[in-house]
């Protein structure tokens, strides 16, 4: 063999000569148990598939850089924002939400927008979507909602009946459903959509003052969407459209960019604002909380191996850095637990040592052992704290200010109690802001989807959901009812019954 060729080896590094034929008793005899290379290849092949993500199963990803363009140090002491012009390495994973790993990229679905910043204070994961709101506002409802987006346990098919039954019983979903059924529900790949942190987060400055904040990534490529018909056609023609589109543009040097902007609310404003600022089904209107420029995100490097980087990437809202924190957003609070738990199940307890997830700067703690520990496991150092042998210390300078939550009573509070039950103003405003073409597309998409409702409860589910559309905007409700070819007199009577 030539010196510059690599020898074929087993996983343990032993070179071997035969990779196409198993050892047998004669040319036509049975395979021998001692052909351990056959065993190794088949055993590894059987284990190639790690558990699929329950949500966001199909995705695309790329590395890039975030560059600070504006000074926001008055709001945050986070070191990645501390100098105009500073660059931080990033990894961004886009995804569809409800489909399996083999589903089509152009399904009507929200899109994940999960961004990892490799900062000198640790990795910061901003785990969001391409929408500023979500379907539910309490994490106890999340698994039930996702079940309705997956497969019916009897038919093993997707079910419009399940979806609309859940949505009609949870009017808090109306804002996100309106976005999903609009043209934004079928974006033209990943480059032509905005990204949002969606949740309310906090920023803490050098004086230990806290502000509430929302993150927005505005596409520099311009918003572009498929029509419902185009998306359906592309599902059959090129189910991996978004993956191919992102990959080839980066390969060709056409690097996609997004401008990061933030909205900021003071703690005082939060106490008196007309909507709960920690409600994930609501937006902060830009007229009340203007957008503030922060920097530019550019994707400029494709991973050299999809599985190693994109499939093994693990994002968690629990991963914040000094100067950025959480809020009382209930859905955010639920994700702080569920996301790391999902990664430990899917990738193992040491998932943060996988290169795409590993902090490139210092990691010092007393976590030890577990499957696939590959970082030296702390060597001979102490595995407990405090101890008399090492120089690892807790740093008081990183302490955050306390939260004044305004109550000392722990209870199960109704998320949709009086004062928290306006599910109609914002989706109605969104509809009224649309041009005629977008209004017509929304109506057609809703009608197409609701036409799939069937079964003995069809009329109840349809009428219940129509009540929500009418309350958002009476013109929208009328147009959807007409599109469904309903008896308008009977429908209006039903509206009165369900009011």
The catalytic residue positions are: 56, 129
CA 363 to chain centre: 26
Task: List beta partners, residue 264.
Answer: 213
**Residue 465: closest CA among 438, 152, 476:** 476
3 state SS of 75: coil
d(CA 487, CA 178): 24
d(CA 454, CA 164): 10
d(CA 263, CA 277): 12
Dihedral sign from CA coordinates of 157, 198, 241, 66: negative
Backbone angles phi, psi at 438, to 5 degrees: -70, -35
Task: List beta partners, residue 261.
Answer: 216, 293
d(CA 332, CA 78): 20
The β-bridge relationship of strands 122-129 and 111-119 is: antiparallel
3 state SS of 469: helix
Output the CA–CA distances (angstroms, integers) from residue 180 to 123, 443, 471, in the order listed.
31, 12, 18
d(CA 337, CA 329): 13
Which residues contact residue 475 at a Cβ distance below 8 angstroms, ignoring those fewer than 6 apart? none
272 with 312: CB under 8 angstroms?
no
69 with 84: CB under 8 angstroms?
yes
d(CA 429, CA 425): 6
**Residue 197: closest CA among 176, 211, 218, 216:** 216
Q: For residue 270, how many other CB atoms are within 10 A of its CB?
A: 17
Q: Considering only the C-alpha atoms of the chain, give the largest distance between any 2 of them, rounded to a whole number of Å.
A: 85
Output the CA–CA distances (angstroms, integers) from residue 272 to 208, 276, 415, in the order listed.
22, 9, 18
Output the CA–CA distances (angstroms, integers) from residue 165 to 27, 73, 228, 367, 403, in the order listed.
63, 47, 22, 45, 38
d(CA 80, CA 70): 12
Cα Rg, the chain, nearest whole Å: 26
Q: For residue 209, how many other CB atoms are within 10 A of its CB?
A: 15
């Amino acid at each position: 063999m030539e010196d510059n060729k690599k020898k074929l080896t087993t996983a343990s590094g032993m070179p071997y000569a035969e990779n196409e034929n198993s050892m047998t008793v004669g040319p036509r005899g049975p395979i021998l148990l001692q052909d351990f290379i056959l065993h190794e290849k088949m055993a590894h092949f059987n284990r190639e598939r790690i558990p699929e993500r329950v949500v966001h199963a199909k995705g695309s990803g790329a590395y890039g850089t975030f560059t600070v363009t504006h000074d926001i140090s008055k709001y945050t002491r986070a070191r990645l924002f501390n100098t105009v012009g500073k660059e931080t390495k990033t990894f961004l994973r886009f995804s569809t939400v409800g489909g399996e790993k083999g589903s089509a990229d152009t399904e009507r679905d929200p899109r994940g927008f999960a961004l990892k910043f490799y900062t000198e204070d640790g990795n910061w994961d901003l785990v969001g979507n391409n929408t500023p709101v979500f379907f539910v506002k309490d994490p106890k409802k999340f698994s039930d909602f996702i079940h309705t987006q997956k497969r019916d346990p009897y038919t093993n098919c997707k079910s419009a009946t399940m979806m609309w039954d859940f949505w009609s019983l949870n009017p808090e979903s109306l804002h996100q459903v309106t976005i999903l059924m609009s043209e934004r529900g079928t974006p033209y790949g990943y480059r032509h959509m905005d990204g949002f942190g969606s949740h309310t987060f906090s920023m803490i400055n050098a004086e230990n003052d806290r502000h509430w904040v929302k993150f927005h990534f505005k596409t520099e490529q311009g918003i572009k969407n498929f029509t419902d018909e185009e998306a359906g056609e592309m599902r059959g023609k090129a189910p991996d459209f978004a993956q191919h589109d992102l990959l080839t543009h980066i390969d060709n040097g056409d690097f996609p960019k997004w401008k990061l902007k933030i909205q900021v609310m003071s703690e005082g404003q939060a106490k008196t604002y007309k909507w709960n600022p920690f409600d994930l089904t609501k937006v902060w209107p830009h007229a009340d909380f203007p957008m503030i420029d922060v920097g530019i995100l550019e994707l400029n490097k494709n991973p050299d191996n999809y599985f190693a980087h994109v499939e093994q990437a693990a994002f968690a809202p629990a991963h914040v850095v000094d100067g950025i924190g959480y809020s009382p957003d209930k859905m955010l609070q639920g994700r702080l637990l569920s996301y790391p738990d999902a990664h430990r199940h899917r990738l193992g307890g040491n998932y943060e040592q996988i290169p795409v997830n590993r902090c490139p700067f210092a990691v010092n703690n007393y976590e030890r052992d577990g499957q696939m520990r590959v970082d030296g496991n702390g060597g001979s150092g102490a595995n407990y704290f405090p101890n008399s042998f090492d120089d690892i210390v807790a740093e008081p300078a990183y302490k955050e200010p306390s939260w004044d939550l305004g109550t000392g009573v722990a209870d199960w509070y109704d998320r949709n109690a009086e004062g928290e039950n306006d599910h109609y103003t914002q989706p109605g405003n969104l509809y009224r802001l649309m041009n005629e073409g977008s209004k017509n597309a929304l109506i057609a998409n809703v009608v197409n989807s609701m036409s799939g409702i069937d079964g003995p409860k069809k009329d109840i589910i349809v009428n219940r959901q129509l009540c929500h559309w009418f309350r958002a905007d009476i013109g929208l409700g009328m147009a959807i009812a007409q599109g469904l070819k309903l008896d308008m007199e009977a429908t209006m009577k039903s509206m009165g019954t369900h009011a």
